[in-house]
Amino acid sequence: MKISGLLSQALLFGFGFQLTACVPAFLDKYKREEVRASQQKAAARPGKTADGTGAPAATPSAYSSFFSRTPKETVGITQIGDGVFRIPLSYDRTWDTIVDVLLRNYNLQIVDKSTGILTTEWDSFYLDGKVNRNKVSVRLKRAGSQSVDLTVHNNVETLSRIPDGVSEVWLPSDRVKPEIGRIIQNLAIASGQPKPTLAADMKPAVEAPKPAM
| Distance (Å, whole) CA 29 – CA 18 | 17
For residue 99, the domain's CATH number is 3.30.530.50
pLDDT digits (tens, 9 = 90+) for 133-164: 999 999 999 998 899 999 999 999 999 988 77
Which residues does residue 197 pair with via DSSP β-bridges, in sequence order? 78
Same domain for 50 and 109?
A: no
Q: Are residues 86 and 32 in the same domain?
A: no
Residues 63 and 84 in one domain: no
Side-chain-facing half-sphere of 200: CA atoms under 13 Å: 0
Whether residue 198 is contained in a domain is answered as: yes
Residue 102 and residue 63 in one domain: no
pLDDT per position as a tens digit, 18-76: 544 444 554 454 455 555 556 666 555 555 454 555 555 545 454 444 344 444 456 79
Residue at which a domain ends, from 17, 41, 67? 67
32 and 55 both lie in a single domain: yes
**Domain interval for residue 134:** 78-202
Query: Which DSSP letter does residue 3 get?
Result: H
| Residue 178 placed within a domain | yes
Residue after which a domain boundary falls, among 15, 44, 67: 67
Q: Tell me, yes or no, whether 92 lies in a domain.
A: yes
Residue 10 inside a domain? The answer is yes
Q: Does 212 reside within a domain?
A: no
CA gap 48, 45 in Å, rounded: 6
Q: How many domains does the chain fold into? A: 2
* Per-residue pLDDT tens over the stretch 89-129: 999 999 999 999 999 999 999 999 999 999 999 999 998 88
What is the rounded CA–CA span in Å between residue 34 and residue 28?
10
Classify residue 211: in a domain, yes or no.
Answer: no
d(Cα 8, Cα 1) in Å, to the nearest integer?
Answer: 10
Residues 139 and 82 in one domain: yes
Pairing between β-strand 147-161 and β-strand 168-172 as defined by DSSP bridges? antiparallel
Residues 17 and 95 in one domain: no
Contact 116, 140 (CB under 8 A): yes
Alpha carbons 66 and 22: distance in angstroms, whole number: 55
| Any domain includes 32 | yes
Is 83 in the same domain as 153?
Answer: yes
Same domain, 188 and 83: yes
Does 210 reside within a domain? no
Residue 49's contacts (CB-CB under 8 Å, 6 or more residues apart) are 43, 55, 56, 57
Does residue 37 sit in the same domain as residue 125? no
Last residue of a domain, one of 46, 67, 88: 67
At 80, the amino acid letter reads I
> In terms of residues, how long is the chain?
213
Please check whether residues 111 and 190 belong to one and the same domain. Answer: yes
For residues 47 and 55, what is the distance between their CA atoms, to the nearest angstrom? 7
pTM of the model: 0.62
| pLDDT in the model for residue 36 | 58
85 within 8 A of 184, measured Cβ to Cβ: yes
Q: Is the domain of 157 the same as that of 186?
A: yes
Give me the percent of the chain exceeding a pLDDT of 70.
61
Beta strands 117-120 and 123-127, pairing class: unpaired
Q: What are the backbone dihedrals phi and psi of residue 177, each rounded to the nearest 5 degrees, phi first? A: -80, -35
